[in-house]
């Protein structure tokens, strides 16, 4: 990680004791590296495979590596790499922006994503609609959006409703 690669495919050893592939993907994201990742393990367990794929690994290969299995994995992911890398980059960037929101701003954003008006949000949170407007303006400023629909789109890009092991 001191000198992360700039091109190619990353083979990452999935070691749950070290945080698994999710920690590797998080560290790469922090460094702005969006290369595709294939997870590896000597004896892959189904739960580990699911966690790795949810975290963003494009495939999972058992160790020791067999050339034909690796070639198959590379061939399969070759078609999806660009789309996956762009989607993951957008998701991480969106999550990083949303992480800057206060807890109340985050609640307002969550209710906006449900399609609620300021009045409805105020009723749900026990605050005035004017206070909701202030939180809404603040969260849009922090997220760099001009309209609440853009803020909601950013929340959707962050995929916060999915059960992923990604930590903000």
Q: What is the C-alpha to C-alpha distance for residues 147 and 139, in angstroms, rounded to an integer?
A: 11
pLDDT digits (tens, 9 = 90+) for 151-161: 999 999 887 77
Closest CA to 98 of 134, 56, 144, 129: 144
**pTM of the entire predicted model:** 0.62
The CATH number of 96-158 is which of 1.10.10.10, 1.10.760.10, 3.30.450.90, 1.10.3720.10?
1.10.10.10
Q: CATH topology of 10-79 equal to that of 96-158?
A: no
Residue 122: which residues within 8 A CB-CB, separation 6 or more? 128, 129, 131, 132
The residue ranges of every structural domain in the chain are: 10-79, 96-158
* pLDDT tens per residue across span 111-147: 999 999 999 999 999 999 999 999 999 999 999 999 9
CB 109 within 8 Å of CB 145? no
Fold of 10-79: Rossmann fold (3.40.50)
């Amino acid at each position: 990680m001191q000198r992360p690669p700039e091109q190619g495919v990353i083979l990452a050893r999935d070691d749950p004791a070290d945080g698994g592939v999710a920690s590797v993907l998080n560290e790469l994201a922090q460094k702005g590296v969006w290369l595709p990742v294939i997870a590896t393990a000597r004896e892959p367990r189904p739960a580990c495979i699911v966690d790795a794929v949810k975290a963003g690994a494009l495939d999972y290969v058992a160790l020791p590596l067999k050339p034909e299995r690796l070639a198959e994995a590379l061939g399969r992911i070759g078609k999806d790499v660009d789309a996956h890398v762009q989607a993951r980059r957008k998701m991480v960037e969106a999550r990083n922006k949303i992480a800057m929101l206060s807890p109340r701003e985050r609640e307002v954003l969550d209710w906006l994503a449900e399609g609620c008006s300021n009045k409805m949000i105020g009723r749900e949170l026990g605050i005035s609609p004017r206070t909701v407007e202030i939180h809404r303006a603040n969260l849009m400023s922090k997220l760099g959006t001009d309209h609440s629909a853009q803020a909601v789109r950013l929340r959707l890009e962050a995929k916060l409703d999915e059960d992923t092991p990604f930590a903000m």
